[in-house]
Amino acid sequence: MLLEIRDLDVRYARTHAVKSANLDIKEGEIVTVLGANGAGKTSLLRALQGAVKPAGGKIRFAGEDITHMSPADRVRRGMMLVPEGRQIFVSMTVHENLLMGAYLRQDGDWVRDLKEVYERFPNLANRRDMKASTLSGGEQQMLAIGRALVSRPRLVMLDEPSLGLSPLFVNNLFELITQLNRDGITILLVEQNTGMALEVAARGYVLELGSVVLSGTSTDLSQNSALAEAYLGGGHAKTSQTA
Amino acid sequence: MLLIQQIINGVMLGSVYVTMAVAFTLTIGVLNFLNFTIPTLFMLAGMGAWALTAKGVPIIGAPLIPVVIAPIIAIVTTIAASLIVERFTFRYLKMKYGDSTEHAIPLVSSLGFLLIIENLVRIAYGTDPQRFTALEADFTFDIAGLMIRVPQLASLMISIGIVFAVNRALNHSRIGRGLRAVAENPDAANLLGVEANKLVPVIFMLTGLLCGLAGILFAMNYGEVSPQMGEDIGSKAIAGMVIGGLGSIWGAVIGGLIIGVAEMLTIHLFGADTVQVVVWGLLLVMLFFRPQGLLGHNSIGKGKL
């Protein structure tokens, strides 16, 4: 098991964002976490990367207890979160943004990984020395994913990557996610675009008000009509037009 | 001709403001906090260098330190003092009480350090300004009737040189990129593994270095130091920084030079009493018509470098 989450609790001052959640992600899988706004998906991912301290529970990555590790130590071990809204550094150039992905790399191999990112995203290579603020929404998402890849992650966690992208770009994005998975990267995908997410993922979890209320293979989940109505606010029917 | 001479003098004086305005800019840009110890660090370097040459090592009393070495010791002391301030204001209080949005605590505690250090120096050496002629190597040369003093020219060149170096380090080094990442988006930087608490001391070291240098350059130019020398210079550096644009290093450079020139021209045209009115009037006019300053970003105080 690459990532084991046991009884994870995340609390903020007034809200109990994640309530004793249990999730498992095997090496090489694509797993999706679905749920309506405010279901606790982002809180879950931020706790996994170490940006918020869990109030309880355990997180194990590749067999090692990482519950109390800093985000930096988790990055060193191969976890990388691509946050909601991309969060690229708009005052930096495309190239500098990618270098930030290699911030903790001690080995010299990151140069090769950076080259691979440029080969994977020729658009970024063409805009290498331009300010990241000049990129389109889709290119910014590519940059955010490229930045994550330069850290050579074993697990990439994507928080709503399709948000605000044109339908064409959404297709490219999900194509890219399967490609990355084929290249050996395990993916944890948080999405509101339920249809697309279940298409690329092997398994999924459904969060509601912080708790895991459903889990299963993507086929099971997509045939579960109660899911669409009860937990996703009709999102399943809406997915074809989201983006 | 006299007017041109005053402008030249203003640029030279401005170089001291530039160095300190850049120090203010670094802390505001990355940490989003106005470091009130900066004027004190400036004073500490000037008074320290003087005390080492005139009174010997503090507490022990002797030996008198040669004038070539004293400034270096003073600058190193200033850097150390800045790191102590970081340890006991910013890091300790932030860890204990503040989250990343809490800026009042470091601000107020830095003000506390300002008063304590300044008064400790007063207790040790008295409030009177001290002549510090040892450093005042007064070579002057004459170009077409304009007097250029060598120490002033040197201080201008050192100031601009150090600003170039700091700017280059911010743009082209790994730590520099990390600092800029923290300045722009602390949350995203954290997720990428940038550990802000390891980078913050770098800012305070640079602050100490810049203030130390400015203090020594000031002593070199004016041949006089005092426990309150930082107050006036520090507040004018803040004015320069705001006029140039908060968070912009080149803004701090331009703003510092503008204040220096404005000060010299005011003295020349209206007399020394009117300097404060003109400097702060300039600041208010700028805030009224262009609140982000000459080179600043659109919103005031938004952490960016």
Candidate from B177, B191, B305 with C-beta closest to A81: B191
pLDDT tier for residue A237 given thresholds of 50, 70 and 90:
very low
- Measured between CA atoms, the residue of chain A closest to residue B181 is A89
Distance from CA of A80 to the nearest CA of B (A): 7
Residue B304 pLDDT class (50, 70, 90 cuts): low
What pLDDT score was predicted for residue B296?
78
- Report the domain count for chain A: 1
pLDDT in tens, A158-206: 999 999 898 889 999 999 999 999 999 999 999 988 889 999 999 999 9
Better-predicted residue by pLDDT, B145 or A31: A31
Closest residue to A72, CB basis, from B184, B188, B195: B195
- Segment A204-233 shows an average pLDDT of 82
What value does the mean pLDDT of chain B take?
A: 86
Ramachandran class of B128: left when φ > 0, alpha when ψ lies in -120 to 50, beta otherwise: beta
Higher pLDDT, A239 or A141: A141
Confidence of residue A236 (pLDDT cuts 50, 70, 90): very low
Asked if pLDDT for residue A238 goes beyond 60, the answer is: no
Per the model's pLDDT, the better-predicted residue between A243 and A50 turns out to be: A50
Question: What's the confidence (pLDDT) of residue A192?
Answer: 85
pLDDT of residue B151: 76
Q: How confident is the model at residue B103 (pLDDT cuts 50, 70, 90)?
A: low
Q: Please give the C-alpha separations between residue B230 and each of B20, B29, B180, B214, B222, in angstroms, as whole numbers.
A: 10, 22, 28, 10, 14
Token digits of residue A82 = 């691509």
Count of beta carbons in the 10 Å neighbourhood of residue A229: 13
* Helix (H) or strand (E) run with residue B17 in it: helix B2-31
Interface predicted TM-score of the whole assembly (ipTM), two decimals? 0.90
For residues B106 and B93, the answer to whether their CB atoms sit within 8 Å is yes
| Structural element, H or E, at residue B278 | helix B275-289
Confidence of residue B40 (pLDDT cuts 50, 70, 90): very high
- Contact between A81 and A49 under an 8 Å Cβ cutoff? The reply is yes
Closest CB from A91, A92, A103 relative to B192: A103
Whether the pLDDT of residue B6 is over 60: the answer is yes
Q: Which residues contact A223 (CB under 8 A, 6 or more apart)?
A: none
Tell me what pLDDT residue A241 has: 38
Domains of chain B in start order, with CATH, are 2-136+145-289 (1.10.3470)
Using the predicted structure, report yes or no on whether residue A33 has a pLDDT greater than 70. yes
Res. A243 pLDDT band, cuts 50 70 90 = very low
Mean of all residue pLDDT scores within chain A? 90
Of the given ranges (A50-54, A192-196, B134-138, B250-254), which has the lowest mean pLDDT?
A: B134-138
pLDDT value of residue B2:
83
* Band of residue A232 on the pLDDT scale cut at 50, 70, 90: low
Task: Over range B27-38, report the average pLDDT.
Answer: 86
The per-residue pLDDT for B73 is 94
The 3-class SS string of A69-107 reads CCHHHHHHCCEEEECCCCCCCCCCEHHHHHHHHCCCCCC
Mutate to test the interface with B, among A12, A45, A87 (most CBs of B within 10 A): A87
User: How far is A214 from chain B, CA to nearest CA, in Å?
Assistant: 29
Mean pLDDT lowest among A159-163, B36-40, B298-302: B298-302
**Tens digits of residue pLDDT in B234-287:** 999 999 999 998 888 999 999 999 999 999 999 999 998 999 999 999 999 998
Identity of the residue numbered B200:
V
The chain A residue lying nearest B196, using CA atoms, is: A72
Question: What pLDDT score does B29 carry?
Answer: 83
Which segment of A98-102, B7-11, B76-80 scores lowest on mean pLDDT? B7-11
Q: What is the CATH number of the domain that holds A68?
A: 3.40.50.300
> Which residues in chain A are closer than 8 Å to B193, comparing Cβ atoms?
71-72, 74-76, 103-104, 151
Q: What is the pLDDT of residue A240?
A: 39
For residues B205-227, average pLDDT: 91
Residue A16 vs residue A242, higher pLDDT: A16
Per-residue pLDDT at A130 exceeds 70:
yes
Query: If you average pLDDT over residues A70-74, what whole number do you get?
Result: 96
Q: Which residues span the domain enclosing A16?
A: 3-241
Q: Which residue has the higher pLDDT, A78 or A236?
A: A78
